């Protein structure tokens, strides 16, 4: 693939991004669309590098619930098997006659013990069964304490509820061109003292070697007192911009990626929250402008914000051809 060999020399490169400058050392985009780093870690056993608490806090809701339900079923299957190994005669009150029914009753007795419900129809007899039942009750109490902590952590964890437009647009702006993206909060966790930062990466040939270069993209407005509606981030492409004089082919050859970092103070959590995403050159649209997302209500006493119009845009003619 062709690589960009020249760029705007006036643009000041960043050196403190924390990302590698050797283009041969990384593949694909630096950040995924959800803001997570596009890095796969190897070289250390999974059990040593995995933060189980963080993983369970960060999992999607459906995966978290699947793990909880599956763990509950597996634990009770395990204890039901132990009760059967000890002997079904050590569970007083069993009425099942077939092996399958006996295992079913042992499973539900285990579930009652694990949750400390204890209906009382079946009870352990003898030291072995009583010891296993006591151990299971302890494991159940510890498990529910752990799950309660995880549920609270997931529920109360500070998060920037911000979503971003699918594309970044090259837009006619003030007799010139600007690169714009749009974002919007999608819950009522409104942020204050919000600050945004854009950083661009591109690959160039320098001294015969392919290198990653990083540039901070200045914003027309980089800070907002509060974020209660959509906010369009605007980078004006002028003589100081690293995009200056770049064609569409240059942008593609340079494998350009734009990182978006947003932070603000969430009044609901009384904490600073952070959000990020990225756009690759494949997600740039040349010659377009965003359509309005909000308008007054029917009696002009409030504003209606249409979140489903976040990505909506229409063609717009640029003063130069990309």
Question: What confidence tens digit (pLDDT) does each residue in 89-98 have?
Answer: 888 887 778 8
Please determine, for residue 51, whether its predicted confidence score (pLDDT) is greater than 80: no
Please determine, for residue 25, whether its predicted confidence score (pLDDT) is greater than 70: no
Fold of 13-40+159-315: Immunoglobulin-like (2.60.40)
For 147-170, what is the HEC assignment? Answer: HHHHHHHHHHCCCCCEEECCCEEE
The proportion of the chain whose per-residue pLDDT surpasses 90, expressed as a percent, equals 48
Q: For residue 146, report the phi and psi dihedrals to the nearest 5 degrees.
A: -65, -45
SS3 label, residue 128: helix
Looking at residue 262, its pLDDT comes to 95
Q: What is the CATH number of domain 49-156?
A: 1.10.287.70
DSSP E strands, 46-130:
91-92, 123-124
Q: What does the chain come to in residues?
A: 322
More reliable by pLDDT, 176 or 321: 176
Closest CA to 284 of 168, 165, 166: 168
Looking at residue 170, its pLDDT comes to 95
- Residues 238 and 244 sit within 8 Å (Cβ to Cβ): yes
Closest CA to 179 of 74, 123, 258: 258
Domain 13-40+159-315 matches domain 49-156 at the CATH topology level? no
Per-residue pLDDT reduced to its tens digit, 131-176: 999 999 999 999 999 999 999 888 888 888 899 999 999 999 988 9
Q: How many whole angstroms from its chain centre is CA 208? A: 38
Instruction: Tell me what the pLDDT averaged over the chain comes to.
Output: 86
The proportion of the chain whose per-residue pLDDT surpasses 70, expressed as a percent, equals 90
Q: How many CB atoms lie within 10 A of CB 167?
A: 17
Per-residue pLDDT reduced to its tens digit, 188-243: 888 999 999 999 988 877 777 778 888 899 999 999 999 988 999 999 999 889 99
Looking at residue 17, its pLDDT comes to 65
Question: Domain extents for the chain?
Answer: 13-40+159-315, 49-156
Q: Is the dihedral of CA 101, 106, 110, 112 positive or negative?
A: positive
Looking at residue 213, its pLDDT comes to 85
Range in 24-28, 238-242, 250-254, 289-293 with the lowest mean pLDDT: 24-28
Q: pTM for this one? A: 0.76
Q: List Cα–Cα distances, 181 to 166, 305, 306, in angstroms.
A: 8, 17, 17
Question: Average pLDDT for residues 248-275, to the nearest whole number?
Answer: 90
More reliable by pLDDT, 125 or 269: 125
Please give the helix or strand (H or E) that residue 216 lies within, else none. strand 209-217
Per-residue pLDDT reduced to its tens digit, 105-134: 999 999 999 998 878 788 888 899 999 999
């Amino acid at each position: 693939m062709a690589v960009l060999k020249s760029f705007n020399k006036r643009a000041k490169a960043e050196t403190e991004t924390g990302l590698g400058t050797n283009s041969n050392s990384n593949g694909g985009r630096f950040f995924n669309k959800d803001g997570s780093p596009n890095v796969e870690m190897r070289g250390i056993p999974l059990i040593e590098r995995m933060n189980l608490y963080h993983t369970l806090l960060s999992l999607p809701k459906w995966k978290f619930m699947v793990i909880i339900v599956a763990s509950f079923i597996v634990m009770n299957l395990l204890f039901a098997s132990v009760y059967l190994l000890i002997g079904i005669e050590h569970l007083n009150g069993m009425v099942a006659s077939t092996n399958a029914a006996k295992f079913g009753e042992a499973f539900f007795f285990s579930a009652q013990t694990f949750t400390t419900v204890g209906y009382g129809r079946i009870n352990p007899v003898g030291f072995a069964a009583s010891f296993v039942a006591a151990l299971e009750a302890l494991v159940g109490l510890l498990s529910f304490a752990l799950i309660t902590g995880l549920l609270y952590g997931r529920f109360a964890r500070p998060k920037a509820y911000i979503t971003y437009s699918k594309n970044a647009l090259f837009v006619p702006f003030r007799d010139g061109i600007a690169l714009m993206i749009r974002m919007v909060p999608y819950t009522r966790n409104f942020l204050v003292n919000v600050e945004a930062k854009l950083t661009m990466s591109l690959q160039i040939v320098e001294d015969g070697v392919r290198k990653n270069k990083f540039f901070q993209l200045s914003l027309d407005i980089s800070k907002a007192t509060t974020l209660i509606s959509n906010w369009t981030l605007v980078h004006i492409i002028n003589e100081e911009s690293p995009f200056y004089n770049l064609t569409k082919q240059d942008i593609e050859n340079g494998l350009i990626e734009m990182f978006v970092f947003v932070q603000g103070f969430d009044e609901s959590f009384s904490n600073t929250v952070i959000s990020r995403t990225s756009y690759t050159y494949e997600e740039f649209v040349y010659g377009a402008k965003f359509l309005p997302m909000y308008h007054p209500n029917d009696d002009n006493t409030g504003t209606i914000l249409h979140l489903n119009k976040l990505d909506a845009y229409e063609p717009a003619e640029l003063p130069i051809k990309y």
